[in-house]
């Protein structure tokens, strides 16, 4: 049974969900999600002999929402993971992340390899720091229309998403999933001038089978404090690039697993397909080749829980045996 409590780490209080006993597995959600996005992983991982903990990360759900934008840098987020592992009485853990949680997991392995037994990322591949700040690069490439740039306009996306939180989340989840109609090559997520991010997203009359009304209710409730904390993660993209300069050209050396869907827009971002193709060469401790799930969209562990659980358990057991 999943249990809930609050934990003080790194200057904030984090709400965590936990189940099971054994080696610690920390599950890190993405945007716009919560601990609930891992609901299908708790039972199988706990039954496989692991202690599973999923926090609402800072700025989300019942966890603290610091007001300062610069309280959401990658160093703060990694610090939360490090603090959580220690607060749970452990010295090491497996770290798994999806969407924004994946860069946090990858950077935890990069910055604190001594504390990471193995690392897995879903949707977002391992970080290889570019030569230009990401917001500036996307601004130039897409004329300010890329959604990262839209999210960086103070208060704009915050207000758009908060006007009807449940509808916004329903559109987010459906449009980026493998359940939405997909024809031709995946287009980049652009926001046209004078339009909102949600304006071109389809709103399904019936939810896809992997998402229930209760799931949507739980997610909407977790955004009762609004979206600003979550959006502040994006507002630190260039700051993160500056802060990670000491790790330029550094590689994640811990045993690693990468899983993504072939209908996910993130692996189609500029330069990302080439990165994924070269991952086995770039990362000597990558376990097998990247696992591509046919027909799967962005919400990897929710859309394909059985396949994700099987791969995670095999990976965790492989690393443990080694």
Q: What is the pLDDT of residues 61-89, one digit of tens each?
A: 999 999 999 999 999 999 999 999 999 99
Domains of the chain, by residue range, sit at 3-321
> Which pLDDT score is estimated for 137?
92
Residue 298 tokens, joined: 């962005």
Looking at the chain, how many residues does it have? 322
At residue 183 the predicted structure's pLDDT band, cuts being 50, 70 and 90, is: low
> Which pLDDT score is estimated for 200?
87
Q: What are phi and psi of 25, to 5 degrees?
A: -120, 120
Catalytic residue annotation: 99, 298
Residue pair 250/282 in contact by the 8 Å Cβ criterion: no
SS percent in the chain: helix, strand, coil, step 5: 40, 15, 45
Instruction: Report the phi/psi class of residue 172: left, alpha or beta, with left for phi > 0 and alpha for psi in -120 to 50.
Output: alpha
Average pLDDT value over all residues in the chain: 96
Residue pair 26/95 in contact by the 8 Å Cβ criterion: yes
Q: Which residue has the tokens 């329903």?
A: 170
Residue 218 tokens, joined: 């739980």
At residue 295 the predicted structure's pLDDT band, cuts being 50, 70 and 90, is: very high
What average pLDDT does range 7-29 have in this prediction? 98
Q: How far is CA 295 from the centre of its chain?
A: 19
Residue 29 tokens, joined: 């959600």
Q: Which helix (H) or strand (E) holds 318?
A: helix 305-321
> Which pLDDT score is estimated for 186?
67
At residue 206 the predicted structure's pLDDT band, cuts being 50, 70 and 90, is: very high
> Which pLDDT score is estimated for 185?
61
The string of pLDDT tens digits covering residues 109-149 is 999 999 999 999 999 999 889 899 999 999 999 999 999 99
Q: Is the peptide bond preceding residue 32 cis, with omega within 30 degrees of 0?
A: yes
Distance from C-alpha of 144 to C-alpha of 137, rounded to nearest angstrom: 10
Integer angstrom CA distances of residue 199 from 172, 195, 203, 251, 293: 11, 6, 10, 39, 28
Quickly count: other Cβ atoms within 10 Å of residue 180's Cβ: 16
Residue 234 tokens, joined: 């994006």
Residue 289 tokens, joined: 């080749």
With 0-12 CB in 10 A as exposed, 13-18 as middle and 19+ as buried, what is 271? Answer: exposed
pLDDT at 182 over 80: no
| Range 3-321: architecture per CATH | 3-Layer(aba) Sandwich (3.40)
Residue pair 301/173 in contact by the 8 Å Cβ criterion: no
């Amino acid at each position: 049974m999943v249990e809930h409590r609050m934990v003080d780490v790194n200057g904030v209080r984090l709400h965590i969900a936990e189940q099971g006993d054994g080696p610690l597995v920390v599950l890190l959600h993405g945007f716009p999600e919560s601990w609930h996005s891992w609901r299908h992983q708790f039972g199988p991982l706990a039954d496989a002999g692991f202690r599973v903990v999923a926090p609402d990360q800072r700025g989300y759900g019942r966890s603290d929402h610091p007001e300062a934008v610069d309280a959401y840098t990658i160093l703060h987020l990694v610090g939360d993971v490090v603090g959580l592992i220690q607060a749970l009485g452990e010295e090491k853990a497996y770290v798994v992340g999806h969407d924004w949680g994946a860069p946090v997991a990858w950077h935890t392995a990069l910055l604190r390899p001594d504390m990471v037994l193995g690392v897995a990322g879903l949707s977002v591949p391992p970080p290889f720091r570019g030569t230009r700040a990401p917001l500036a690069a996307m601004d130039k490439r897409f004329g300010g229309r890329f959604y990262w740039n839209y999210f960086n306009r103070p208060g704009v996306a915050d207000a758009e998403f908060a006007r009807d939180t449940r509808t916004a989340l329903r559109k987010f989840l459906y449009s980026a999933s493998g359940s939405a109609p997909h024809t031709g090559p995946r287009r980049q997520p652009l926001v046209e001038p004078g339009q909102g991010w949600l304006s071109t997203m389809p709103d399904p009359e019936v939810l896809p089978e992997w998402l229930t009304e209760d799931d949507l209710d739980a997610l909407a409730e977790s955004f009762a404090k609004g979206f600003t904390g979550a959006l502040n993660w994006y507002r630190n993209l260039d700051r993160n690039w500056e802060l990670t300069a000491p790790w330029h050209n550094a590689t994640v050396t811990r045993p690693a697993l990468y899983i993504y869907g072939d209908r996910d827009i993130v692996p189609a971002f500029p330069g990302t397909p080439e990165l994924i193709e070269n991952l086995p060469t770039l990362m000597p401790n990558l376990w097998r080749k990247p696992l591509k799930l046919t027909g799967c969209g962005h919400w990897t562990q929710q859309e394909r829980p059985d396949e994700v659980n099987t791969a995670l358990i095999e990976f965790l057991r492989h690393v443990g045996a080694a």
